[in-house]
Amino acid sequence: MVTQAELSVSLSGITLKNPVIPASGCFGYGAEFAELYDLNMLGAFSFKGTTLAPRYGNPLPRIAETPGGLLNAVGLQNPGIEAVLARELPRLAQYYSGPLLANISGFSLEEYVRCCERANESDQISIVELNISCPNVHGGGLAFGADAACAAKVTAACKKTSKKPLYIKLSPNVTDITEIARACEAAGADGLSLINTLLGMRIDLMRRKPILANAMGGLSGPAVFPVALRMVWQTAGAVKIPVIGMGGISCARDVLEMLLAGATAVQVGAANLVNPYACKEIIEELPTEMERYGISSLREIIGAAHR
């Protein structure tokens, strides 16, 4: 193993000891994982998607397996921003002290802004990660992230109120990811996270109906990695702000590919649900994979595939 391998990266002036971040929705608030290993080895951690009010989520069933991946239509189940600040974050501080991303969701511009205002009150939160894949209930139901003008509007409103670096999590369910990315950058985003899940479905042959009660859900897992890598490569070439890459990452080699494509850090999602030690193992594998490809520092390869 390479003992001198430099794994650290920087997001908006915040140093991460390595680029590996458990993705929102696949790690909860970390309590179950903290029983298995020391979470302080992580580069950072994005906690469960949070809305202004508590949400039970979508009706069951809301999870379905598929070759090479997982479909989910959980529906942002969470206790609401006030409970997160009052209860979950103090509990989290007992076993994790590294950089924390607050994944914020909303169904109106006002909800996003209010959640960002409340996130300002927590010293634990390092970065606000705005999930703009939610349907805009005051805008005809179209997802905030599906339209460049709408994405720019919510970015600008939240940037105006947020005292934390603001990263926008982009949906892949668009015609041109770079158009949305540039709109968010122009509106003041400090960084971008991508990709969120791809829209998919499965049908139960016996019942002749969709497996998910919601019919459609988000596809994640290894099957989406090539799509995610392509979109990260396109986006990193179109903007000058940092990109966090995610989508099907399951090993150290995937991390290196994402960084070469232009990501500064990565998030690991569905892999945690298959193997709870996934992030730990990826971090431990990185020095060996770096040695295999003659890499001494991760910072030196960020965006190298564009050069």
Both tokens of 183, joined, read 């709109």
In 3-state terms, what secondary structure has residue 269?
coil
Q: Of the listed 26, 115, 134, 158, which one is catalytic? A: 134
| Ramachandran category for residue 199: left, alpha or beta (phi over 0 → left; psi -120 to 50 → alpha) | beta
Distance of CA 170 to the CA centre of its chain: 9
Is-contact 92 136, C-beta < 8 A?
no
H helix or E strand, kind and range, residue 265: strand 265-268
Catalytic site residue 158? no
Count of residues for the chain? 307
Give the whole-angstrom CA distance, residue 121 versus residue 100. 14
Q: How far is Cα of residue 133 from the mean position of the Cα atoms in its chain?
A: 12
- Distances in Å between the Cα of 15 and the Cα atoms of 100, 124, 255 are 12, 15, 17
> How do the residues of the chain divide into helix, strand and coil, expressed in percent and rounded to 5?
35, 20, 45
Residue 32, amino acid: E
Cα–Cα distance measured from residue 268 to residue 88, given in angstroms and rounded to the nearest whole number: 21
Q: 233 vs 66, 132, 248, CA distance in Å? A: 26, 20, 15
Catalytic residues: 134
